Amino acid sequence: MTGLTHFDGAGNAVMVDVSDKPETQRVAVACGSVLMAPATAQLIADGGVKKGDVLAVAQLAGIMGAKRTPDLIPLCHPLALTSVRVDLSLDQARNAVDIEATCALTGRTGVEMEALTAVSVAALTVYDMVKAVDRSLRITDIRLVRKSGGKSGDWRGE
């Protein structure tokens, strides 16, 4: 299984040994969206969701999700995150909540999974908070948009 770091020579799943890697400043940014009906976007804009402030609750959920990534994703290293930022914005022209998460640390392994988990958990929270009024919700386009640090250096998506 060449190229796949989470398998040993016999094909068994393993956590990658990062003990010989140097510590570097690492940052990852991920984003995604929740698409909805126009009335749902208006309800969020008006603060009319019975469960509370959708964007504020989803922001906190995203931060908590990033911190819990190794509990959710097998073989993920537990990391001492130094920064987690989750920003949500309502784009009423697209009837969407857009989410961006930035995770950072100084360490031996990257924070891509933490950023992606933050976006995913925030999106799921938006979904949960408005699902009673909108069955057409779609979580979409969750992706890594950039990362820096480590042996592979800087990377930017399209």
Return all residues near 92 (Cβ < 8 A) that are at least 6 apart: 38, 41, 42, 45
Task: Give the Cβ contact number of residue 141 at 10 Å.
Answer: 15
Q: Looking at 87, 98, 128, 141, which residue is catalytic? A: 128
Q: How many angstroms separate the CA atoms of 149 and 61, rounded?
A: 26
Active site residue 46: no
Residues recognised as catalytic: 128
